[in-house]
């Protein structure tokens, strides 16, 4: 079978398009590259959505943690401690069991022209259940970063804004928020990379890969099992992840440049790659 | 226990006491010790590997420095879980391959036959005839090596950074006092390094604890394995029938890990206060104030 044929059959296998049977015999290098690359779509999906939604929750949590009101501060502190203090792996298992025992109900949402039924059974599927766990998890980690940055916003800047007669909201929107984001961005880049790496845990925890539609590591371990040779599939995963990591650094680097564009080069926030392990 | 002989006749609290002390649960509790043992054995090895990596990287002898650089940058950009899946299998195959070459040179067929990895019987590690505990210990040892290699690389990064962070003037002063290279290192450089290394190392320690559920992926019967095993639904044929309780078992694990994190954070905060005493840092000055 030619490599282009393999590409047609398996490039979108991870989202259920193309050949149903996974390659079983005569597994070549091309099969491994294509199928593992197809699995990478899941990693990108989980990481992109979790980071996007996580940004807003993290912002809210960071502000709550900075609040003088204990009713706001304490719950935020607890949330961050629970999600940062326990392994993501266990969180996945726990969440899956929790979602499984939820009563099976459907909620109808009338949209006028059509009705969407939201069923709780979707929560036991990886695409929603695992996404929720990752979203909450990255929110906690990001909140910690934003909280630190919020506390490092120079006092003088805020006082200057007060002297200009800005009210609380416009002070936040024009001074505190942009400065916080600029200060937090290098660490936030590391967090995005870290989360991207953590998406490999999804199909190794409670969430089952429905119809063998899994992520990059899921297919890599499939190949390692079928060929008894871990020396090909795992380095392929590593290669894909290094490439994706460079991609994340590039995209976040562009934003970082935008955030720092008003500053002299010597005062700009620099990104330092600080790889982290295990969440 | 005497009262647990007939579990079907038990009710209420007695049932729970007997259920939670049955032999399966005792193995579950032992697996918590396995986790602590893994962390306890790995941590010193990680520290040694970290020092070796950092010193190799700083070495003026370039092949050694190259090895140090390769080792410390190895873990960057690649998900740790890939290492944990890869290192034990690779190591296992390497050992069996070497034993095969040494122990049975008369076998001429290749070891890699298409999709199979075949070594002669006496090259198996451990031997097929070995008792079960030896198989388990071997798996455990491979897991420790995988953990030590990955975490060692991270520790090397941290220690290298800490060694650089010690103010140059301190080392130059030591020189001016006529100290030799090793005297400078052991009396000035090393003791002052800790305060810079401690935040990174404490972080690494918490991460090491949080990495222990990955033992499950390596096929070791650890706490995750037992939580799934014991929590699953038990029908009437079992001594202690119960519905699916996995949620509660995972809740227990979650609390265990949160507790470990909390203890570690408290302990490291105390340790930081201890090592910053007398250091030329802001925290050091605070510690002096406190002592007075």
What pLDDT score was predicted for residue A275?
65
Q: Is residue B288 over pLDDT 60?
A: no
Model confidence at B113, pLDDT cuts 50, 70, 90, reads low
What pLDDT score was predicted for residue A222?
86
What pLDDT score was predicted for residue A59?
94
What pLDDT score was predicted for residue B292?
45
pLDDT cut 70: percent of chain B above it: 80
Name the residue of chain A whose CA is nearest to B264's CA.
Answer: A85
Cα-based torsion angle of the residue sequence B154, B155, B159, B160 in order, rounded to the nearest 10 degrees: -30
B150 touches chain A (CB under 8 A): yes
Are the C-beta atoms of residues B59 and B72 closer than 8 Å to each other? no
* Whole-structure pTM value: 0.79
What residues of chain B, 203 to 262, have a C-beta less than 8 Å from chain A?
Answer: 204, 207, 210-214, 216-217, 224, 227-228, 231, 244, 246-247, 250-251, 253-254, 257-258, 261-262
Are the C-beta atoms of residues A220 and B103 closer than 8 Å to each other? no
Q: Measured between CA atoms, how close is B201 to chain A, in angstroms? A: 12
Omega into B126 within 30° of 0, i.e. cis? Answer: yes
Residue from the list B154, B214, B261 with its beta carbon closest to the beta carbon of A89: B214
What pLDDT score was predicted for residue A11?
73
pLDDT per position as a tens digit, B227-265: 877 777 777 667 777 777 888 888 988 999 999 989 998
B154 touches chain A (CB under 8 A): yes
Name the residue of chain A whose CA is nearest to B213's CA.
Answer: A89
Q: Report the distance separating Cα A95 and Cα A12, nearest Å.
A: 28
The stretch A39-68 carries a mean pLDDT of 93
Are the C-beta atoms of residues B100 and B118 closer than 8 Å to each other? no
ipTM: 0.80
DSSP label of A270 = P
Q: Which of A105-114, A190-199, A256-265 has the least mean pLDDT?
A: A105-114
pLDDT per position as a tens digit, B114-142: 556 677 777 776 666 777 777 778 878 88
B81 touches chain A (CB under 8 A): yes
Number of A:B CB contacts under 8 A?
120
**Do the chains contact at B85 and A87, CB–CB below 8 Å?**
no
**Do the chains contact at B77 and A275, CB–CB below 8 Å?**
yes
Of A7 and A45, the one with more pLDDT = A45
- CA angle A142–A146–A150, rounded 5-degree value: 170
Q: Which of A215-224, A260-269, B72-81 has the least mean pLDDT?
A: B72-81
Q: Measured between CA atoms, how close is A98 to chain B, in angstroms? A: 6
Name the residue of chain B whose CA is nearest to A27's CA.
Answer: B115
**Do the chains contact at B250 and A227, CB–CB below 8 Å?**
no
Name the residue of chain A whose CA is nearest to B115's CA.
Answer: A227
Contacts of B90 in chain A (CB under 8 A): 230-231
Give the residue from B31, B38, B74, B82 with the most A CB atoms within 10 Å of its CB, the best one to mutate.
Answer: B82
Closest CA to A78 of A88, A70, A87: A70
A174, two tokens? 């024009």
**Residues in A lying within 8 Å of B, measured between beta carbons:** 27, 81-82, 85-91, 93-94, 97-98, 100-101, 197-198, 200-201, 204, 217, 220-221, 224, 226-231, 234, 237-238, 241-242, 245-246, 273, 275-279
pLDDT per position as a tens digit, A8-50: 777 777 777 777 777 777 777 788 888 888 889 999 999 999 9
Cα A103 versus chain centre, distance: 28
Contacts of B224 in chain A (CB under 8 A): 89-90, 93
**Do the chains contact at B250 and A101, CB–CB below 8 Å?**
no
Q: Report the distance separating Cα A109 and Cα A113, nearest Å.
A: 11
**Do the chains contact at B75 and A217, CB–CB below 8 Å?**
no
Contacts of B261 in chain A (CB under 8 A): 81, 85-86
**Orientation of helix B246-275 relative to helix B282-291, angle to 10°:** 80
pLDDT per position as a tens digit, B169-213: 888 999 999 998 888 988 888 888 888 888 888 888 888 888 887
Contacts of B214 in chain A (CB under 8 A): 89, 278
């Amino acid at each position: 079978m030619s490599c282009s044929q393999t590409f047609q059959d398996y490039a979108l296998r991870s989202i259920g398009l193309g050949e149903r049977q996974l390659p079983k015999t005569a597994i070549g290098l091309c099969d491994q590259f294509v199928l593992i690359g197809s699995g990478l779509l899941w990693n990108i999906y989980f990481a992109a959505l979790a980071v996007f939604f996580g940004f807003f929750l993290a912002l809210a949590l960071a502000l709550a943690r900075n609040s003088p009101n204990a009713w706001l501060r304490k719950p935020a502190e607890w949330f961050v401690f629970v999600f940062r203090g326990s392994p993501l792996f266990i969180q996945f298992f726990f969440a899956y069991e929790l979602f499984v025992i939820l009563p099976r109900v459907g909620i109808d949402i009338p949209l006028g022209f059509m009705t969407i039924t939201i069923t709780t059974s979707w929560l036991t599927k990886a695409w929603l259940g695992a996404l929720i766990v990752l979203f909450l998890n990255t929110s906690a980690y990001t909140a910690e970063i934003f909280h630190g940055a919020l506390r490092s916003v120079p006092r003088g800047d805020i006082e200057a804004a007060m002297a200009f007669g800005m009210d609380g909201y416009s002070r936040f929107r024009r001074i505190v928020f942009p400065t916080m984001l600029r200060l937090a961005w290098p660490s936030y880049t590391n967090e995005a990379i870290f989360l991207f790496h953590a998406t490999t845990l999804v199909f190794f925890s409670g969430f089952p890969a429905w119809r063998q539609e899994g992520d990059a590591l899921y297919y890599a371990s499939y190949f390692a099992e079928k060929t008894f040779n871990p020396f090909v599939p795992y380095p392929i995963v590593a290669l894909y992840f290094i490439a994706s990591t460079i991609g994340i650094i590039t995209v976040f680097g562009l934003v970082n440049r935008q955030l720092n564009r008003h500053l002299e080069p010597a005062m700009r926030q620099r990104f330092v790659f600080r790889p982290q392990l295990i969440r | 226990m005497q009262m647990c002989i007939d579990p079907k006749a038990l009710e209420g609290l007695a049932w729970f006491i007997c259920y939670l002390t049955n032999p399966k649960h005792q193995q579950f509790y032992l697996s918590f010790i396995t986790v602590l043992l893994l962390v306890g054995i790995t941590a010193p090895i990680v520290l040694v590997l970290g020092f070796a990596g950092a010193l190799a990287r700083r070495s003026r002898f370039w092949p050694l420095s190259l090895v140090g650089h390769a080792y410390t940058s190895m873990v960057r950009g690649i998900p740790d879980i890939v290492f944990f899946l890869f290192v034990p299998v690779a190591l296992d195959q390497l050992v069996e391959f070497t034993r095969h070459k040494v122990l049975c040179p008369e076998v001429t067929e290749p070891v890699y036959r298409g999709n199979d990895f075949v070594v002669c019987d006496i090259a198996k590690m451990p031997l097929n005839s070995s008792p079960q505990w030896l198989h388990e210990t071997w798996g455990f040892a491979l897991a420790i090596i995988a953990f030590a290699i990955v975490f060692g690389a991270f520790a090397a990064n941290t220690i290298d950074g800490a060694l650089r962070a010690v103010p140059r003037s301190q080392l130059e002063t030591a020189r001016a006092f006529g100290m030799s290279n090793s005297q400078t290192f052991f009396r000035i450089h090393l003791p002052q390094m800790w305060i810079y290394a401690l935040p990174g190392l404490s972080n690494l320690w918490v991460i090491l604890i949080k990495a222990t559920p990955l033992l499950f992926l390596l096929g070791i019967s650890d706490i995750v394995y037992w939580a799934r095993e014991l929590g699953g639904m038990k029908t009437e044929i079992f001594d202690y029938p119960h519905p699916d309780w996995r949620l509660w078992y995972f809740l227990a694990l979650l609390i265990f890990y949160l507790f470990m994190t909390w203890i570690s954070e408290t302990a490291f905060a105390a340790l930081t206060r201890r090592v910053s005493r007398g250091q030329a840092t802001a925290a050091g000055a605070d510690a002096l104030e406190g002592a007075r």
